């Protein structure tokens, strides 16, 4: 398993600003993922972040809106840019464990945009 | 494309009783993995149980077991001796064995009644 922490745990932001969410893992992992969970909804994959390469974005998500960094094997950031109230969600990072095909999730960041 | 369907938005069960949560999926893949995740009000996603499609034997983890019917593309979760701490949102998830992308169902909100 892996222990994952996220910062901040929650934030309230104004429309038009940007927020960077940090994800830290206690061990080196190849694959990290960013998800969005809108209120009362399921998880939607935003992008896959592999160290040493560009993030791969899912349909409906673009790099200009959700830039991702992956500087090393234990850390990643997701920025939510030019925020609008529709971006109010929980953002979760997860890591993939290749040997067991499991994913472990961070505690999430609850973002509210006013 | 892969889709995961959970047809029970909400369920409740008396403490100490047994409850079964349903999940069906659609895929053309032959090899894949299925998961049940639990998300309590704290919003931390916790892996409950995992099933490899190539294994005929149903996975079991203590009070949690699955009924995996590959031909029917069904993957239900049975919780025995329900406890108050089982109250949570439960998500069924699918992953192809050729990648790490998870596809989540819409979730079932389970309430254990004392």
Q: What is the mean pLDDT of residues B104-112?
A: 95
> What six digits make up the tokens of B111?
């309430």
Instruction: Identify whether the C-beta of residue A92 lies closer than 8 Å to the C-beta of residue A34.
Output: yes
Residues facing residue B20 across a β-bridge: B78
- Best CA proximity match to B45, nearest among A61, A26, A104, A74: A104
Across the interface, of B50, B97, B105, the residue whose CB is closest to A42 is: B105
Across the interface, of B42, B43, B50, the residue whose CB is closest to A102 is: B50
Query: Which residue, chain included where needed, has tokens 């190849």?
Result: A30
pLDDT recorded at residue A53: 80
Q: How many C-beta atoms surround the C-beta of residue B38 within 10 A? A: 21
Residue B102 pLDDT level (bands cut at 50, 70, 90): confident
Instruction: Identify whether the C-beta of residue A46 lies closer than 8 Å to the C-beta of residue A57.
Output: yes
Q: What is the count of residue pairs from A and B with beta carbons less than 8 Å apart?
A: 50
Answer yes or no: do B50 and A101 touch at CB < 8 A: yes
Instruction: Identify whether the C-beta of residue A21 lies closer than 8 Å to the C-beta of residue A80.
Output: yes
Distance from CA of B4 to the nearest CA of A (A): 11
Answer yes or no: do A94 and B47 touch at CB < 8 A: no
One pLDDT digit (tens) per residue for chain A, 114 residues: 788 999 999 999 999 999 999 999 999 988 899 999 998 888 999 999 988 788 999 999 999 999 999 999 999 999 999 999 999 999 999 998 777 778 899 999 999 999
């Amino acid at each position: 398993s892996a222990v994952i922490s996220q910062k901040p745990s929650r934030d309230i932001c104004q429309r038009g600003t940007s927020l960077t969410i940090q994800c830290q893992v206690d061990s080196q992992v190849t694959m990290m993922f960013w998800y969005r969970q809108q209120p009362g909804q399921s998880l939607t994959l935003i992008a896959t972040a592999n160290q040493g390469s560009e993030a791969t974005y899912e349909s409906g998500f673009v790099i200009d809106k959700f830039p991702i960094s992956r500087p090393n094997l234990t850390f990643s950031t997701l920025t939510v840019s030019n925020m609008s109230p529709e971006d109010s969600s929980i953002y979760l990072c997860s890591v993939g464990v290749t040997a067991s095909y499991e994913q472990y999730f961070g505690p999430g960041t609850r973002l509210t945009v006013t | 494309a892969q889709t995961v369907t959970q047809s029970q938005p909400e369920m409740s069960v008396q403490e100490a009783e047994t409850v079964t949560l349903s999940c069906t999926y659609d895929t053309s893949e032959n090899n894949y993995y299925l998961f049940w995740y639990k998300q309590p009000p704290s919003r931390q996603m916790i892996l409950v149980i995992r099933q490899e499609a190539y294994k005929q034997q149903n996975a079991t983890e203590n009070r949690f077991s699955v009924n995996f019917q590959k031909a029917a593309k069904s993957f239900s979760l049975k919780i025995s001796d329900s406890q108050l701490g089982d109250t949570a949102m439960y998500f069924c998830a699918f992953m192809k064995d050729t990648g790490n992308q998870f596809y989540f169902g819409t979730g079932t909100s389970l309430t254990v009644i004392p």
